[in-house]
């Protein structure tokens, strides 16, 4: 019972396997979106 509780707490606090914090990982995903929008805008402008 105790070890299950401990396992659950670990699940909550578990860090991402890369970039060391969730905030950083979320920022990367958001930044990727911004870059994609910018690239699509340039793509549309250049070729239209």
CB 1 to other proteins: min, Å: 14
Site string for other proteins, 5-34 (x = CB under 8 A): ---x--xx-xxxx----x--xx-xxx-xx-
Would the CA dihedral through 5, 8, 13, 16 be positive or negative? positive
Q: Determine the Cα–Cα distance for residues 35 and 2; give it in Å rounded to an integer.
A: 46
44 in contact with other proteins (CB under 8 A): yes
41 in contact with other proteins (CB under 8 A): yes
Nearer to other proteins, 2 or 46 (CB): 46
């Amino acid at each position: 019972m105790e070890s299950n509780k401990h396992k659950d707490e670990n699940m909550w606090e578990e860090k991402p396997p890369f970039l060391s914090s969730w905030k950083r990982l979320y920022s990367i995903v958001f930044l990727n979106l911004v870059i994609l929008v910018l690239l699509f805008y340039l793509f549309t402008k250049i070729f239209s």
